[in-house]
Amino acid sequence: MTQTTKKIILAYSGGLDTSCAIKWLQEQYSYEVIAVSMDVGEGKDLEPLRDKAIKIGAVKCHILPLQQRFATEFLVPAIQANALYENVYPLVSALSRPLIAQTLIEVADQEKAVAVAHGCTGKGNDQVRFDVAIKALAPHLTIVAPAREHPMAREQAIAYAAQHQIPLPVDLNNPFSIDQNLWGRSCECGVLEDPWAEPPEAAYVLTKNLAQTPDKPTEITIEFAQGIPVAVNEQIKPLPLLITELNQLAGLHGVGRIDHIENRLIGIKSREVYEAPAAMTLIAAHRALETITLTREVAHFKPLLEQRFAHLIYEGLWFSPLRDALYAFIQATQQRVTGKVRLKLNKGHAIVVGRTSPYSMYVKNLATYAGDDQFDHHAALGFIKLWGMPTQIYHAMDIKA
């Protein structure tokens, strides 16, 4: 390579496609390839990828620890927003993409690269998420997507790898396409492409089959400070560790299995199997705490914005001004979402059994029907009269007619 060779930063997973991409980028564009592998909680040691990338032809490979940043900057907003795409999917992969895009740009700036590359196909959502984020934050960078520009069938990619002496991944016979991070795991392809077929147990790793889960529930307590989880069972923990432990604990009880036919951004329906034990447990707990800390008006309005917030994330618009504006509102609602929630984990369910907060708006003496009831029952008559007046006047016209 000469000193004038252009540099490209490749998001490198170590899989078949991105391994082939190192050679392809060299052959097709004469790029000097710098690989970047990012630890967002995939659950495996990424260090071996460095030697592999160099052996294939990359001039350098960065291994970057990003779990804390992922949790603080991306998972916290998702928890505070109870973010579920189509009220089902906790945005496992979608939440990591803006961070990966940001990191590619940062490394490109550091290495004085002129382009970045990713392994997305032309059929998925991730290409949109990466491209939109990169063009928004660094429009000067060229984006190259080998799997989109030169799609190869699996057998073609294997042949290409053999031709160029590219080490094949050890899990090449895995029938599924898998993406995993701190927030959960997604699984697609293979038998899962038949929406009538039940997902085989081989599709699951983080969660136990219900038949194998304990018969006795496990009770846990989760503590929040301004909508952010800070402790489990009275033990204060860094958020990445807290999520990891909840993934293990809730997964043991089969919590967080999701079989979803979702509407992809590009217009097709896709069958996805997700595992998100910690995500679903934390969202259930956070929602429960909000029931006693938010006013009625905020509690009724916030879910409308939560849905739009989740859609923006799914649609690759993390860096849009609307997401910023929506999150400003969401953050404002979290100032008093502080307290503890008790849950029982049992047979695939995270069941809320108690909640308490120093800012609780639940006043027992107003809610009770016992002798210490302090509610002014006589005030209800005037309230009902005024509340129902517009409806009464409307129907009075029908009576006159």
Catalytic residues: 17, 97, 126, 177
* Torsion (CA) 124, 128, 129, 133 in degrees, nearest 10: 160
Structural tokens at position 69? 């940043």
Structural tokens at position 234? 């009275």
Element (H, E) at 159: helix 154-163
Element (H, E) at 87: none
Do residues 285 and 233 make contact, with C-beta atoms less than 8 angstroms apart?
no
What's the rounded Cα separation, in Å, for the pair 186 and 155? 23
Q: Where are the beta strands (DSSP E) in 243-392?
A: 257-263, 269-275, 339-346, 349-356
What's the rounded Cα separation, in Å, for the pair 263 and 248? 29
Residues 6+ away with beta carbon under 8 Å from 365:
372, 373, 374, 375
